[in-house]
């Protein structure tokens, strides 16, 4: 596995080593021991989810309260998505920054998204199927959303007609969410993830 930290701090892109032959392919898509090596802390897995979306569907930007915080480990097992992470941690040096990574069923890349970051994606194909592990079970009263079309964020979604849920269409802008006090606090996220003095420097890390 190859681990590369994104420009949104704490978020890692994971490239698996695929073993292919005439029968098909085999790969390791989640190795908690190797993930802990690069993040400096383990990821508990409390729930596994599957999301299937038609082309042009945009889901997100979603985040949860910290504490307790919800980390995610995401991959696309069918089709392709443009996966987006947004730094929503008030006090973070990168507050408001976002980065996009293509996840598909060819490269089979995964993303680790720590607590406090916003997450969303746009389906690039029909039946785009996203699988993700979560460190906390779903708790609606702890969940929030940011308008994925917020002009202040200016996320470059790869569709002219994004299809949104009613919840995401009605979500507040980043500025409104910050003013309301619902955004995660950076210091609380650092404590929650155990990052202080433990994480390795940013860069690419190799593994078996």
73 is catalytic: no
d(CA 74, CA 130): 7
Catalytic-residue membership of 141: no
Q: Which of 62, 73, 119, 186 is catalytic?
A: 62
Q: Which of 73, 112, 132, 186 is catalytic?
A: 132
Catalytic residues: 62, 132
């Amino acid at each position: 596995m190859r681990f590369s930290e994104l420009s949104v701090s704490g978020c890692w892109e994971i490239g698996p080593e695929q073993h292919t032959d005439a029968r098909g392919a085999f790969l390791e898509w989640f190795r908690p021991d190797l993930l802990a090596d690069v993040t400096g802390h383990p990821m508990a897995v409390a729930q596994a989810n599957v999301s299937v979306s038609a082309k042009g569907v945009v889901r997100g930007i979603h985040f949860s309260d910290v504490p307790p915080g919800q980390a995610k480990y995401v991959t696309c097992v069918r089709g392709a998505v443009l996966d987006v992470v947004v730094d929503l941690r008030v006090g973070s040096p990168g507050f408001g920054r976002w980065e996009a990574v293509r996840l598909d069923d060819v490269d089979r890349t995964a993303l680790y998204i720590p607590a406090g970051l916003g997450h969303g994606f746009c389906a690039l194909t029909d039946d785009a199927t996203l699988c993700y592990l979560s460190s906390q079970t779903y708790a609606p009263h702890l969940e929030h959303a940011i308008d994925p079309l917020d002009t202040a964020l200016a996320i470059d979604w790869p569709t002219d007609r994004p299809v949104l849920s009613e919840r995401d269409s009605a979500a507040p802008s980043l500025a409104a969410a910050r003013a309301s006090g619902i955004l995660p606090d950076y210091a609380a996220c650092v404590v929650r993830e155990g990052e202080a003095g433990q994480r390795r420097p940013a860069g690419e890390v190799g593994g078996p």
